[in-house]
Chain A
Amino acid sequence: MASPTLTSPALGSFTAETFERALGAQAGAPAWWLERKRAAYERFAALPMPQRTDESWRFSSIAGVNLDSLEPLAPAAPTARPHVPDFAPLTSLSFVNNRLHGRTALPPELAAKGVVVTTFSEALTRHGDLLKAHFMAQPQRLGSEKFAALHAAFVGDGAFIYIPRGVELDGPILVVHAASGAGASVFPHTLVVAEENSKVTVIDFFTSPANEPLFACGANDLYAGHGSKLTYAAVQNWSRKALSFQLNSTVVRRDARVQSLNIHLGGRQARHESLSQLQAPGAFSEMLALTVASDSQEFDQRTLQVHQAPNTKSDLLYKNALLETAKTIFSGLIIVDPDAQKTDAYQSNRNLVLSDGAEANSLPGLEIQANDVRCTHGATTSRVDPEQMFYLQARGITPVYARELLVFGFFEEVLNRLESEELHAALRTLLKSKLKL
């Protein structure tokens, strides 16, 4: 609910003039795309900034959400190679400050099968219908409608991934979204369309130089067609001075299976919204997240699992480890539509609090309109178990390392769900690197 006392919508640095300049840079794009951008900017300008009283912003630090003093149009990228983990992708795209920075060639046999891994700029001319059908096509209903509109208005280049019917990819596709320059604004986007019975793994990696202020307003659209298997992993490793929004939408069609894992490490304040829509029988969405929250970081996670058809399944497990004076918010909702009988929905948020000054907030929720369903949800907040600590120490392990092992154990339960051992190992290394700090 918008506050009635708000009279002028906040634009911050994203004035109409800067929008026109941004649009000017895309002058060659199709008319429909530019029209959408204009409409998006109008929505952005009309919507109020979030208020303390908004239910979807409960516990959030509203004061930290500030669009002033930003560089709305990030400059062209310096040539420094962004730091990326040691994956061995089939192919990769990397963006710096909303522009394509590097890419590796798609293996020819995949190109021959019709696999497309490209930029929005190219997709707009060659795959316009797909982009039109899937780009931010799903409702925004988790509180960041204003930022979704801002993203759509200012998005520059993004990753467009299309896997045709029946094509199965063995290795992952890596998309690196980097930012550079103090106060820069970036609008990363990854769009994945997995057609019928295809199989693909996509990894989004977000990175920027340590200690540079940044505004990141990203989104992704995942579409899993009938019988497809889509695995998506994202690592948010922005600088500790970043304000970050990442808005996810996942559509799961008949008998399709989506597994998503979001790892949150960076940012001073980072909000992640994730919407999974289970649209046809047999659809399954597994939603996983791991967060290492340290210093005074705030991680705000809002999720929605919508069961729109019978015999659908969703399984959410979000784990946060909190250090120092960090703060986490988890707010999750499961909605079961009236005819979505035999829904099987699960939602769990587990917080491991490693410091007295940390704060974990949890708001699980259910909204069930069908009568023959199985829905469970739960949230726990706990500390390191002293008996477990003692057991490890009794084997000669130092208290510091014992604690580290227990925290990793806490994360392993989630990482173990990954099918790829290579991905598991790479993500484990990333998590370790933050906990060592």
Chain B
Amino acid sequence: MSSLEITNLHVSIGEKEIVKGLSLTVNSGEVHALMGPNGTGKSTLSKAIIGHPDYTITGGDVRLDGKSVLQMEPDERARAGLFLAFQYPSEIPGVTIANFIRAALQARHAEGEELDASAYYKRLYQKMDMLKIDRKFTSRAVNAGFSGGEKKRCEILQMAMIEPKFALMDETDSGLDIDALKIVSEGVNQLRGPGLGVLMITHYQRLLNYIVPDHVHVMWDGRIVRSGDKSLAVELEAKGYTWVKKELAHA
């Protein structure tokens, strides 16, 4: 069993502190939802964990199976088992989805050890079918000209192929219509299992109707102000974020 431990984490962008002492542990097999209003530091947290150079960690630690990842480069963290499903994935002109995912998998092999191409495509098509992505997409450039829903499905496809230990999903539901939301959620539900831990960042409770979390955390001003089970998400939905501000922010 694996664990992702975030302890008393402080993250700044430039001079401004965004995450102000956040602690959270995700074990494999668990799905955690991190909820909170915009600007509270949810996306900053996820990008800092995977090592985006714009974010400076000024205190605390992130440990994967007991080992700090903070001195690791972003690609090392990814190969160690961390995955971020981006809220706004980059467009990569001229690099096809098939080649991109292949490069990601190849990076996890020893030098000189080639992927089996036919097995790779078989698995890729199987995952694409699961996510209802047209097989023609394999030869399309990564995210170039994709709709919002297509980009999000492409993120989940990468996650399904890479099989990380921990997936951070940043607002995966944003910009999705209900059909796309269902497809994406079904995909994530199929990937759930003892080998995967998920930290799902979302603004809305709606996603949690489709991907039912084991734990729910509410984030406010750079910290987790309350944790509970899925009923917390329902309570939050009913009372709104003003409740968080009034009742929880100073708790």
A binds B: yes
Q: Which residues of A approach B to under 8 Å, CB–CB?
A: 385-388, 390-399, 401-402, 405-406, 408-413, 416
Q: Are B53 and A398 neighbours in the complex by a CB distance under 8 Å?
A: no
Check A396/B86 contact, CB under 8 A, given A386-B53, A391-B92, A408-B94: no
Specify which of A386, A387, A395, A399 is in contact with B104 (CB 8 Å cutoff).
A395
Q: Are B92 and A393 neighbours in the complex by a CB distance under 8 Å?
A: no
A413 to B96, CA, bound (A): 11
Whether, in the assembled complex, B89 has its beta carbon less than 8 Å from a beta carbon of chain A, the answer is yes
Whether, in the assembled complex, B71 has its beta carbon less than 8 Å from a beta carbon of chain A, the answer is no
Chain B interface, DSSP helix/strand/loop, else mixed? mixed
Whether, in the assembled complex, B129 has its beta carbon less than 8 Å from a beta carbon of chain A, the answer is no
Q: A398-B75, A401-B103 are in contact. List 16 more A-B contacts (CB 8 A).
A: A391-B86, A392-B92, A393-B74, A394-B51, A394-B84, A394-B86, A395-B75, A395-B107, A396-B75, A396-B79, A396-B107, A396-B108, A398-B107, A399-B73, A408-B94, A412-B95
Q: Are A410 and B93 neighbours in the complex by a CB distance under 8 Å?
A: yes
Q: How far is the CB of A119 from chain B (nearest CB, A)?
A: 39
A388 to B162, CA, bound (A): 19
Q: Are B73 and A393 neighbours in the complex by a CB distance under 8 Å?
A: yes
A402 to B94, CA, bound (A): 13
Q: Are B104 and A397 neighbours in the complex by a CB distance under 8 Å?
A: yes
A402 to B104, CA, bound (A): 10
Question: Can you name the residue of chain B whose Cβ is closest to the Cβ of A416?
Answer: B94
Q: Are B158 and A395 neighbours in the complex by a CB distance under 8 Å?
A: yes
Q: Which of A394, A406, A409, A416 has the most CB of B within 10 A?
A: A394
Q: Are A410 and B94 neighbours in the complex by a CB distance under 8 Å?
A: yes
Q: How far is the CB of B76 from chain A (nearest CB, A)?
A: 8
A-B contacts, 12 listed (Cβ < 8 Å): A394-B75, A394-B78, A394-B86, A395-B162, A396-B79, A399-B73, A405-B100, A410-B94, A411-B94, A412-B141, A413-B93, A416-B94
Check A405/B52 contact, CB under 8 A, given A396-B75, A410-B94, A413-B93: no
Question: Can you name the residue of chain B whose Cβ is closest to the Cβ of A391?
Answer: B90
Check A406/B95 contact, CB under 8 A, given A391-B90, A396-B104, A397-B104: yes
Q: A residues within 8 A CB of B162?
A: 395-396
Q: Are A409 and B141 neighbours in the complex by a CB distance under 8 Å?
A: yes
Whether, in the assembled complex, B45 has its beta carbon less than 8 Å from a beta carbon of chain A, the answer is no
